[in-house]
Amino acid sequence: MFTRITQKPNTQLIAALFLSFLAAGFLISPLKAQDGAAQTAPNMVLTGAGSMYPDVLFNETLLLFKKSNPDVQVKYEPIGSGAGVLALEEGKIEFAVSSAPLEAILTQDVDMDAEEEPVPLNGKLLEIPITVGMLGILYNIKGVGHLKLTQNGLAGIFDGAIKYWNNSEIQDANPDLRLPNLKITIIGRSDASGANYALSRHLLSAKGEWSGKAESIWPPATLPKDAILVPSSSEVVTKLREVNGAIGYAPSAFGSTLGIPMALIENKKGNFIGPSLYAGEAAIDEIAKSKDPLAIDEIPNPESPGAYPIVSLFWLVTNNVYSDTQTGKVVRDYAKFILSGQARGAAISSGYIPLPDNLRAQAKNLAGTIK
């Protein structure tokens, strides 16, 4: 049985992750919104929840939106893609953010304790692409840096076939490293998350010999029984730092911000690539060339030689029609702002990949239909 850990998120880790943004004044909080005589109480509060990937990006975007919309306060809670969409379905929030396609969430039970399967709201939800993120493969092996993982190596680790770091599949890909005879400990996500979906979707589509049968927002069923599962990306990072020999998956921004090593992953062309702006843009090159980019909801194994192979689109999920026109207008304005040039700059500075121009244009048109 998987080990599931459900303690509260490590506040010290979250504080470390956002330290640079706090120093620059990027992080919005209810307390900060009340500071200063010039601040006025908002006339409307929009509440969103969902993917933990864009938390840093949303904090910066919210500040920019607040400057041009002082009467509106937007709150965002990073609770996971599945939980966010479920909250939107139940009418608890005004928007959700997902790093898994809406269809994948609505066709899988996002509430394991619920007595009934979630019912898709046909035509009532819109999914609007807003940015692209990369799933980092983080590791903690004392004294080891610049680790390379083949597609077979990655697949073997996450289905338990490869149990030690000095396995020949890993050692042969890293002839310059002396890998220890150290047990591999997997740290994964226990909740319905886009991270689980991105990992399983990539393993399924890559040429690696993964034993999984389908992508899923839930933890891959192939994970070894001693895998440690936790309910947030911040806890994945916390636990990974505690265990020598650990490997886990989380937004690449966690690795780059906190200085945690991330593996170079073999892509479709056989090149070993790490997360970067250039590698992310190369991964979405086929979207940029598409005549109908809105129809592309995933790129499980990018074609470009310079592409980082594990990327995810992110969607703003909204109602098509809101119960009152004012809420609909504010959500529509916010959706358009996220797709603006200002937010594009925020995406780059936060470690995300902005949408190609053709997809951004179609996304803006879709956002304009919110009522």
Running DSSP on this structure, what letter comes out for residue 192? S
pLDDT for the residue numbered 291: 80
pLDDT tens profile 184-223: 999 999 988 889 999 999 998 886 677 787 888 889 888 9
| Residue 225 backbone dihedrals phi, psi, to 5 degrees | -65, -25
Phi-psi region of 146 (alpha: psi -120 to 50; beta: other; left: phi over 0): left
Are 297 and 366 contacting, i.e. CB atoms less than 8 angstroms apart? no
Q: What does pTM read for this prediction?
A: 0.80
Q: How far does the chain reach from its first CA to its final CA, in angstroms?
A: 46
| Residue 198 backbone dihedrals phi, psi, to 5 degrees | -60, -45
Alpha carbons 162 and 150: distance in angstroms, whole number: 12
The CATH architecture to which 135-295 belongs is 3-Layer(aba) Sandwich (3.40)
pLDDT for the residue numbered 36: 37
Using the predicted structure, report yes or no on whether residue 180 has a pLDDT greater than 50. Answer: yes
pLDDT for the residue numbered 15: 35
The CATH architecture to which 13-133+312-367 belongs is 3-Layer(aba) Sandwich (3.40)
pLDDT for the residue numbered 55: 60
pLDDT tens profile 283-318: 998 888 888 888 887 788 898 999 999 998 889 999
Range(s) within the chain of domains with CATH label 3.40.190.10: 13-133+312-367, 135-295
Question: What value does the mean pLDDT of the chain take?
Answer: 82
Using the predicted structure, report yes or no on whether residue 30 has a pLDDT greater than 70. Answer: no
Alpha carbons 141 and 280: distance in angstroms, whole number: 26
pLDDT tens profile 231-284: 988 899 999 999 999 999 998 988 888 899 999 999 999 999 999 999 999 999
Residue-by-residue DSSP string for 118-161: PPP-TTTEEEEEEEEEEEEEEEE-TT--S-EE-HHHHHHHHTTS
Using the predicted structure, report yes or no on whether residue 78 has a pLDDT greater than 90. Answer: no
pLDDT for the residue numbered 58: 66
